[in-house]
Amino acid sequence: MNKIVIQIDELLIQGIDSLDPSVLQQTLQRALSEQIASHGIPDGWRPGTKISQVQASYPAENANSELIGQQTAQLVYGGKS
């Protein structure tokens, strides 16, 4: 089985101080792995593909590390918000 490496140089989340970075990272990794396992590698992903920027807005009152990780994974995987 080939190894898939996804490098995220910077993940900047502003306005939510209560997030747990390790939970966010674990959730993002798990959610991306699940997306790839369920749906395969997206057509737009080729070796060396770079996504320069993805932006999203989340309601701060409902935000938690797991929710932000899952929704960010959806954005990275398929450009869905």
- How do residues 16-43 score in pLDDT, each as one tens digit? 778 888 898 899 999 999 999 999 888 7
Query: Whose CA is closest to 74, among 56, 48, 59?
Result: 56
Chain mean position to CA 16: 17
- pLDDT value of position 28: 92
Quote the Cα angle for 59-61-66, to 5°: 80
Q: What is the pTM (predicted TM-score) of this model?
A: 0.76
- pLDDT value of position 76: 85
pLDDT digits (tens, 9 = 90+) for 36-70: 999 988 877 777 777 777 777 777 777 888 988 89
Chain mean position to CA 62: 18
User: Is the confidence at residue 73, as pLDDT, over 80?
Assistant: yes
